[in-house]
Structure 1
Amino acid sequence: MGRNHIFWPHIKANAWSYGLGFALLSISSVMQLFIPWLLGQFTDRLQIGKLTYEEAVRFGIWMIAVGFGIAFFRSVSRMYLFRLSRQLEMRVRGDLFAHWEKLSAQYFNNQRIGDLMSHAISDVGVIREVTMQGYFTVMEAVFLITVSVAAMVQTVGLWLTVVTMLPLPLLSLLAYKFNRKIMEQSANMQEAISDLTSRVQEFTAGIRVVKAFIQEQAERKLFTEDNRRAVEMNRRFVRSNSLFGALSTGIVGFSFLVSVIVGGIMVLKQGITLGEFVAFNTYLSLLMGPIEGLGKVVNLLQRGKASEQRLMEIFNTEPDVVDDIMAKDDIQDIAGDIEIRNLTFSYPEAGRPTLRDVSLKVPKGTSLAIVGRVGSGKSTLVHLLVRLYNPPKGTVFVDGHDIHEIPLRTLRGQIGIVPQDQFLFSSTIRDNIGFDPKPYSDDQVVEAAKVAQVYDNIVEFPHQFDTALGERGISLSGGQRQRVSIARAIIKKPSVLIFDDSLSAVDTITEDLILEGLESVMNKRTTIIIGHRISSVQNADQIIVMDEGRIVERGTHEQLLGKNGIYADMYHKQLLDREAEREDGMAQTQARLLQGGAGA
C-alpha cells in the first residue's frame, strides 16, 4: 500500500502534542491583546489630564510584565512545535533511506545520485520548514486574527472594523493567483538543484578521468550552465515571492490608511475616544503580521506540496524484488545445489532478451566456470542467482526449491559474491572485509585477507587493518580492491561462492597464488567463476561458454579444447599473448644485462 500524505499522518499521530503547542501559543496571543488595551487606557487618562505619576509607572510595569509573558509563552510554544518538526524530518529521512534499501538494483540504475541526494536533503528540509514555520504561523494567525477582530469590534464597534477589514480578503484572491505559479517554480528550482548536485557528484567521482583527458574547461562550462540555471530558477521563484509579498504589504497598508482616515474622522466627531482609536490601530497592527505571514505561508505550503509530491513518488514506488508470497520461512539454510531450466530473461528497458533458453546444473560442492565475450550475459546470470533481479518462476532452483520460495535473507546470506565493480566503502579495511550483519573476530579478518593474498599489502600500511579508505576505496590499487572484495566474500564461509571476473586486475603470479589459496575455501562449496583468463577457469568441474545470451559450448577444459570452438580459440590466443609477454620480458632482461656490461 502506498502513502497518500506525509504531513497529515504526522499531525494525527501527534495531535495531543500539537494541541498543547497551540494552547501555549494561544496564551501568548491573548496576552498580546492587553498591550492595545493598556495603551488605550493610558491615552484616555493622558487626554483628560488625569494621568498621575504612579499610574504611569503602573502602566509601564504592566506592559513589561505582559511583554515578558508574551515572550515566555511564545518561545516555549515555538520550541515545542519546532521539536515536532525536527522529529518529522528525522522520521521522513529515515523512512526514505529504509525504503531505498528495499528497492531493487533496477530502480537505482535509472536514478541520478544528485536527485537522490536532493530528495534526502532539500525536499525533506522543505517538509521540515512547512511543519516548523508554516504550522506555527497558521496557528498563530488563526487565533490572533480571531481574538483581535473580536477585541476591535468590542472597542470601536462593528462598522469601523468591517470598513477597515474590507481590503484584506484581496489577499486570498492574490494567493489564489500566485498559487500554481509558485508551486511550478518551486518544482523547477528543486529540479535545478538536483541537476547541479548531480554535476558536482559526477565531477568529483570522475576527477581523475577529467584530468587525464584535459576536460577541466569543458566540465567548468557544463557546471556553469547548471549553476546559471539553478540561479535563474531561484531568481524566478524569489521574484514571484517578492511580488506577492509587496502586493500583500500594499493591501495591508491600504487597510491602515482606511483606519486612519475613517477612525480619525470618528475621533473628531467624538464617535470614539482617542484611546479607543489608539487601541484599535494597535489591534490592527497586531493583525498585520499574521496576515502577511499567511501570505508567506501560502508560498511555503506550495513548496511543501511540490516536495511532498516528489517524495511520494519514491514512497509509492513498489520494490521489484521482495520475498515472494510462495517464500517458505522454514528454509533457513541452503546446501548449494543449483539448477537452471530454460531460463530466458530480459531487463525492463532492454529491447531483446539478455539470456535465452539457458539450462544447466551445478551439483552441490562442484565448480562452474563461465566465459564468453563482453555482453554475453555472464554477469546477468549470477545476478539472477542472488535475485538482484527476478528470474521467471520455474526457471532457477536451489536445493530443489524454486528460488522464489527461498527468503531473500537466507538466499543472500548463504551466497558470497565478489562483484565486478569491486565497490568498497570509505571506512577501514577491517570494516570492509567484515561487512556482514554478524561480527567477525580479528583472526577471521586476518585469515580471509591471507587467503585473498592481500594480507602482505595491508600490513605495509601505517595503520594496517585500521587504514581508512578513500571514497570507493580509491586509496587502494585495482588489484588490492579486488582482493579485499574477495576477502569480504570468503569470510562469510557461504554455501555458494561467486567470483564475477574478480581476478582481472591482478597479475598472473598473484592470480595463481589466489587460486591456490582459494582451493581450501572452495572445497565442498558450490563455486561459480566468471573470467576472461582461461588460466583462472580451466580447473573448474564444468565450463560453459556464452554468446549472445546462450550457452554455445559446455564441458571440461580438455573437452572444450577438443571441440576447437570459441573456448579453444580464446585459449590459443591467450597462449600466444603469454608467450609474447614472456619473450618481451626476456628481451628487456637481456637489454639490461647488455647495458650493465657496456657500463662495466
Structure 2
Amino acid sequence: MQKATIFREYFVNKRRPYFFGFALLSISCLLQLLIPEYMGQFTDKLKGHELTYHQAVRYALLVMAAGFGVAFFRSVSRTYIFRLARVLEMEVRSKLFAHWERLSAQYFNNQRIGDLMSHAISDVGVIREVTMGGAFMVMEAAVLITATVTAMVITVDPWLTLFTMLPLPMLSVLAYTFNKRIQRQSTEVQEAVATLTSRVQEFVAGIRVVKAYVQEKAEVDFFTRDNQDAVEKNRQFARSNSLFGALSSGVVGLSFLISVVFGGVLVLNGTITLGSFVAFNTYLSLLMGPVENLGKVVNQLQRGRASEDRLLAIFMTEPDVVDDTEAVESIEQLDGRVDIKNLTFFYPEAPEPALRNISLSVPKGTSLAIVGRVGSGKSTLVHLLVRMYNPPKGTVFIDGHDIHEIPLKTLRGQVGIVPQDPFLFSSTIRENIAFDPCPHSEEDVLEAARLAQVYDNIIEFPEQFETTLGERGVSLSGGQRQRVSIARAVIKKPSILIFDDSLSAVDTVTEDLILEGLHSVMNDRTTIIIGHRISSVRHADQIIVLEEGVIAERGSHESLLAKNGIYADLYRKQQLDEAAEGLPAEECVEQQKPGMKLKGGLAL
C-alpha cells in the first residue's frame, strides 16, 4: 500500500456495491421530501376550511406510507453500507497481520505489544467507523441537502432559502478551525490506549515476578497513572467534540431563527402561504440533521486520518530480510554443510560489531558446539544461519550456496532451531509439537516426544497430548517447555539442527537422557549446539569459544582442555560447582583453595 490509499482503494474497488447502497439511500432521501409537501398542502386546506374528513385521512395515509418507505430504504441501505465497512475492517486487519508476518525480527524488537494490539483493534476499528457511519452520513447529506435546497427554492421561495442558508457556511469555518486539534487529540487518544494496553499485557505476562517481589501496589500505581492519562486524553478529545457540536448546533439554530422571522414576514405580506411556510420549516428540519451530521463526519474523518497514517506507517515499512533477486528457486533441499568466511556483523545502529572475522566449516552430519560468556555473540551467530538478520554477502554458505541465494522458505524449512527462550502457543501439546506446516502422523508426534524425553511427563496429564497449555505454555515447567520445544524442532527432520542453550532448564541427568535420545537424530544431520554447561557440548566434533564476538579458541574437548585457556577455565569452574553441590558450606570454602583436588583429580 502507498500513502493515503486505504480508503481510496477500497471505495474504488467497491464502487459498484457502494453505488447500489447510495441508490437505496437516495430513494429514502427523496421519499422524505414528500412529507413537507403533504404537510404544506394539508395546512393550506385546513386554513382555507377546505379540508374534508376523507382528505385528512388521505394525507395521514400518504405521510404514513412515505414514512414507512423512508424507514425501509434507509434501514436496507444502512445495513448494506455497514456490511461493506465490516468487510473493509476484515480485509485491513488481515493485510496488517500478513504484513507483520513479512517483517523482520528487528522490527518487533523496537515495538511494544500494546502498540501492535492497538493498531490491530483500535486503529482498524476507527477505519471501519469512518467507512460505516461516516460514508453513510456523507451520502445522506449529499443527497438530502441537494434535494431539499432544490425543493425549497422551487416550491417555496428562493430568497427565503438563500437567507436561511447564509449561516451554514460557518460550519465549514468551524470544521477547518477544529481540524488539526481533533486530529492531534485523536492520535494522542490512540497512543494512550496503546500505552494502557501495553501496561496490562506486561503485567499479565509478569504476574509471577510482580507477586514474588511484592510489587502489586507499584503496579497499581503505574496502571492508575496510565489509566488517568488515557482518561485525560479522552476528556480533551470529548471537550473538542462537544464544543464543535455545540457551535454547529448554534449555527443551525441561527438558520431556524432566520426562517421563522423572515418566513413569518413573507406569510404576513402574502408572499407565501402558511402551508408553504410550514413546508419550508419541515424541509429545514429535514436539512438540519444531515448538516449537523457533517460536523460529526469531520470529527470521524480526522480520527480516520490519524488511524490511517498509523497503519500506513506499518504498511510502508519494508522487511529487512527478504528473498534476494539472486535467490535460486530450484534449491528445495539442503544437505547441511555450513561454511562461514570472514564474517563480521553489526546490529543496526550498533557502534561495535557483534561478531568479528568469524571463519569456520561444519561438514555435513557433524556437530559444532559454541560456548562463551553471556553477550559473546553465540545466539547472534545461529540467528544469522536462519537469516533472522542479514549477514554480509559472501560470508555465510550452506552446501556451497551463499545463504542469500537460498529462498527463505527452503532455508527455514530445512533448519530446525530450539530457541534459548522456548515459546509455546496457547493450544494443545500435540499442536505445539506438530507445529511444522508439513503433516505429521500420531507416531511422529509420539516419537518426537520420546526423543525429547518429555513423553513420560505428557502422559501423566489427564488429557495427555490433548492438554491445552496456558499462554506461552505457562502451565508447564521451564524444563518441560524446553523439551516440548525440542520435540517441535526434531519432528521437522531438518538438515541442520540448532540448539540455542536449550538444555539450561533441565538437570544434568535429564540432559544426558535427552542427548542420548537425540544421538540417532544428530548422527545423520548437521548439529550446532550452544551451551553453557560443558557436559552438553563435550562430545561435539568441534568446539569454538567466542569471546567478545571473536573465536578465541577452537578444537575438541580434550585439545581445549590441554590449552588451559578459557574453555578449560569454564570446565574447572563447573567441575567445582558440581563437586560443591553435595558438600557442606565450610567444605565448599576449603574446596576453593588453590592446590586442592576435585574428585576427578583435576588440580586448580
Q: TM-score, normalised by structure 2?
A: 0.96
Give me the identity figure in percent: 71
Matching residue's letter, 1:479: G
For the Cα contact (< 8 Å) 1:3–1:315, is it kept in 2?
Answer: no
Give the CA deviation at 1:3: 4.6
Q: Which runs of 5+ in 1 are unaligned?
A: 588-600
Matched, 1:103 2:103: yes
Matching residue's letter, 1:524: D
Mapped partners of 2:206, 2:167: distance in 1: 58
Matching residue's letter, 1:102: R
Matching residue's letter, 1:214: V
Residue in 2 that maps onto 1:534: 534
For the Cα contact (< 8 Å) 2:182–2:302, is it kept in 1?
Answer: yes
| Structure 1 residue matching 2:581: 3-state secondary structure | helix
Mapped partners of 2:309, 2:4: distance in 1: 9
| Structure 2 residue matching 1:45: 3-state secondary structure | helix
Mapped partners of 2:531, 2:259: distance in 1: 85
Residue in 1 that maps onto 2:440: 440
Residue in 2 that maps onto 1:275: 275
Residue in 2 that maps onto 1:250: 250
Matching residue's letter, 1:386: V
Give the CA deviation at 1:583: 3.7
Mapped partners of 1:580, 1:88: distance in 2: 65
Give the CA deviation at 1:154: 1.2
Residue in 2 that maps onto 1:218: 218
Matching residue's letter, 1:212: A
| Structure 2 residue matching 1:416: 3-state secondary structure | strand
| Structure 2 residue matching 1:369: 3-state secondary structure | strand
Residue in 1 that maps onto 2:405: 405
Matching residue's letter, 1:442: E
Mapped partners of 2:561, 2:22: distance in 1: 82
Matched, 1:193 2:156: no
Give the CA deviation at 1:155: 1.9
Mapped partners of 2:14, 2:153: distance in 1: 35
Residue in 2 that maps onto 1:514: 514
For the Cα contact (< 8 Å) 2:4–2:308, is it kept in 1?
Answer: no
What does residue range 150-189 of structure 1 map to in structure 2 within 5 Å?
150-189=150-189
Residue in 2 that maps onto 1:227: 227
Residue in 2 that maps onto 1:480: 480
1:489-509 deviations in whole A, cap 9, x for unaligned?
Answer: 000111000000010000010
Mapped partners of 1:64, 1:251: distance in 2: 31
For the Cα contact (< 8 Å) 1:499–1:529, is it kept in 2?
Answer: yes
Q: TM-score, normalised by structure 1?
A: 0.97
Mapped partners of 1:370, 1:328: distance in 2: 30
| Structure 1 residue matching 2:307: 3-state secondary structure | helix
Matching residue's letter, 1:242: S
1:160-209 deviations in whole A, cap 9, x for unaligned?
Answer: 11011111111100110000000000001101001100000000100100
Residue in 1 that maps onto 2:372: 372
Matching residue's letter, 1:338: V
For the Cα contact (< 8 Å) 1:451–1:514, is it kept in 2?
Answer: yes
Mapped partners of 1:583, 1:537: distance in 2: 26
Mapped partners of 2:511, 2:160: distance in 1: 92
Do the aligned partners of residues 26 and 2 (structure 1) sit closer, same or farther apart at CA in structure 2, a change above 3 Å counting?
Answer: closer
| Structure 2 residue matching 1:417: 3-state secondary structure | strand
Matched, 1:284 2:291: no
| Structure 2 residue matching 1:545: 3-state secondary structure | strand
Residue in 1 that maps onto 2:46: 46
Mapped partners of 1:2, 1:32: distance in 2: 41
Matched, 1:558 2:558: yes
Residue in 2 that maps onto 1:82: 82
Residue in 2 that maps onto 1:301: 301
Q: Which runs of 5+ in 2 are unaligned?
A: 588-604
Matched, 1:122 2:122: yes
| Structure 2 residue matching 1:423: 3-state secondary structure | coil
Give the CA deviation at 1:582: 3.6
For the Cα contact (< 8 Å) 2:545–2:554, is it kept in 1?
Answer: yes
Mapped partners of 1:244, 1:148: distance in 2: 24
Q: Which runs of 4+ in 1 moved over 3 A?
A: 1-4, 582-585
Matching residue's letter, 2:313: E
What does residue range 17-36 of structure 1 map to in structure 2 within 5 Å?
17-36=17-36
Give the CA deviation at 1:441: 1.1
For the Cα contact (< 8 Å) 1:124–1:307, is it kept in 2?
Answer: yes
Q: What is the RMSD of the two structures over their aligned residues, measured on CA atoms?
A: 1.0
| Structure 2 residue matching 1:498: 3-state secondary structure | strand
Mapped partners of 2:128, 2:109: distance in 1: 29
For the Cα contact (< 8 Å) 1:433–1:484, is it kept in 2?
Answer: yes
For the Cα contact (< 8 Å) 1:453–1:483, is it kept in 2?
Answer: yes
Mapped partners of 1:18, 1:478: distance in 2: 54
Mapped partners of 1:111, 1:579: distance in 2: 44
Give the CA deviation at 1:442: 1.1
Matching residue's letter, 1:201: Q
Give the CA deviation at 1:578: 1.1
